[in-house]
Amino acid sequence: RFKLVPLQILFCIAFFISCTENLNFNQINLELEPTINVPIVYFELNQNNFLDEFNQEISAVSDITVFRILETTVLKENLIELKIDFEVENGFNRMFLVKMFILDDNDNITHTFNQFTIEAGDLNYTATGTILIENTSEFLNSTRFRTDIILPPTATNLNPNIEKIFKFRSSGTFYLRF
């Protein structure tokens, strides 16, 4: 029992003299860069969405999705970049063109993405669009996404009795700096 006493005293002395300086948190330069992932747009279309009441093809269908995440002041003030991932499943035997615009409350375009061409039967189409806020600060006024799905004319007409599905989804990764 007495053999451990000198060892215990040595540990106590080392413990007390090792932490003699005060910590100064003012010297820390802390920069946080969190990311936020959110779904943005999702919709499904079938062959009837591209046919009128007389079964004549409609050349384009538009979807407008409300985009409210930029209403947060903290996000607006600290957003540096946004990456949007697009995924499309085209179950049709026809090609589609996809145009996507980001709009403000007055329908002014705040950002336009490059047009996508989705080949017939492509069930795994993916693309990514990037927005750097320092280059497009008007994007911070965005409130809605408009997606135009365009069906170019061909000799093959859509059959209202054969179920076909077109799925569109997108998600955004918001990069922040505090």
Closest CA to 67 of 34, 38, 33: 38
Q: How many residues appear in the chain? A: 178
State which H helix or E strand residue 44 sits in: strand 35-46
pLDDT, position 102: 95
- Element of type H or E holding 40: strand 35-46
Q: Give the closest residue to 82 by CA, choosing from 119, 21, 114, 36.
A: 36
Residue 4: is its pLDDT beyond 80?
Answer: no
Percentage of the residues of the chain whose pLDDT score is greater than 70 = 88
- 131-159 confidence digits (pLDDT tens): 999 988 899 999 999 999 999 999 888 99
165 contact partners, CB below 8 Å, separation of at least 6? 44, 45, 46, 89, 91
Distance CA 110, CA 64 (A): 14
Q: What is the pLDDT of residue 20?
A: 54
Quick check: 2 pLDDT over 70? no
pLDDT of residue 16: 66
3-state class (DSSP) for residue 126: strand
In the predicted structure, residue 30 carries a pLDDT above the cut 90: no
pLDDT for the residue numbered 31:
77
Question: What pLDDT score does 23 carry?
Answer: 63
What does the pLDDT average to over 2-25? 66
Q: Tens digits of per-residue pLDDT, 78-128?
A: 999 999 999 999 999 999 999 999 999 999 999 999 999 999 999 999 999
